[in-house]
Structure 1
């Protein structure tokens, strides 16, 4: 078995325990840490994440919960956490927990959504 320090794309090693992300909803622009790419089974920078790409990695049975959590966070700014499954490019399933909170503008519009994802 390979060590965890190797390539992120292979499923023969455990991905990191934590990935960080930042989302700017007005531009649908995401930033992912190296750990986030690895959790999703991707090499850092392999694909610029956008909302459609991210949603395509969520297990269909968990998609409604994930979308509702996103919408609630963007409109209320309240912290969130929810478990869900992701499908890696290899087809492997991973159960993860996402958590985060949005920074709201003075007009109650979401400026920035920051959070973490970890293996469950």
Structure 2
């Protein structure tokens, strides 16, 4: 039989990776200090059990992990699982758990042993990459919508909220995405050639004198 007093060796070079063992007959777990730390425990302060292990699984992943453990117990076959655990502080960590057969000196399968890898940083990086890829498109769409709102506000003399409601109404009625509607509207507004001469004259005067209005001129700033 294996020497059960022998400590579980850890994978060198990373405190985000640790080893575990599980004896089938005894339903007994061993965690390295790194695996205990992943769950939020100081070294030597916890005795792992199947119940405790499942308690730390994210509620949305718990049933799947329980099924995997049941298969390991019944078959003793190797397994792998990518899931979330919740440590003692409530922090959610993404982990990859890989287990292989543990055999005695006669070759009989007596349990499973393997390792945990904390892949939270990798998942976060992938999320950030996805967000960063989407941000330019989001910003561009927002700019188009703001331009369309500005055009409606100027032409109809309405507020920003009212202009947005008009755009949203046309988007729903025509079954056209708000961005696409705004993108089509702005070139069409330009093609109109601007306002008529009296309106332009009034706007010219406003543009040249707006700084003199109350609260706008430098001398009136608080």
TM-score tier after normalising by the smaller chain length: 0.7 to 0.9
Normalising by structure 2, we get a TM-score of 0.43
Match of 1:3 in 2: none
Match of 1:84 in 2: 83
1-side partners of 2:58 and 2:76: how far apart?
25
1-side partners of 2:27 and 2:79: how far apart?
19
1-side partners of 2:29 and 2:118: how far apart?
20
Unaligned runs of 5+ in 2: 1-13, 120-222
Larger relative contact order (Cα-Cα within 8 Å, sequence gap ≥ 6) = 1
Normalising by structure 1, we get a TM-score of 0.76
**CA-to-partner distance for each residue in 1:69-120, whole Å, 9 max, x for gaps?**
1122222333211111111111110010111023468xxx952111111112
2-side partners of 1:25 and 1:18: how far apart?
23
Query: Within 5 A, what are the aligned runs for 1:1-120?
Result: 16-103=15-102, 111-120=110-119
Match of 2:200 in 1: none
Give the number of the structure whose residues are more often helix, by fraction. 2
Is the contact made by 2:78 and 2:112 (CA closer than 8 Å) also made in structure 1? no
Structure 1 residue 58: deviation in Å? 0.4
Give the number of the structure whose residues are more often strand, by fraction. 1
* Count of paired positions: 103
2-side partners of 1:39 and 1:63: how far apart?
17
2-side partners of 1:98 and 1:114: how far apart?
10
Is the contact made by 2:65 and 2:81 (CA closer than 8 Å) also made in structure 1? yes
Is the contact made by 1:73 and 1:102 (CA closer than 8 Å) also made in structure 2? no
2-side partners of 1:104 and 1:76: how far apart?
13
Match of 1:6 in 2: none
Match of 1:8 in 2: none
**Rg bigger for which structure?**
2
Is the contact made by 1:16 and 1:38 (CA closer than 8 Å) also made in structure 2? no
1-side partners of 2:77 and 2:27: how far apart?
20
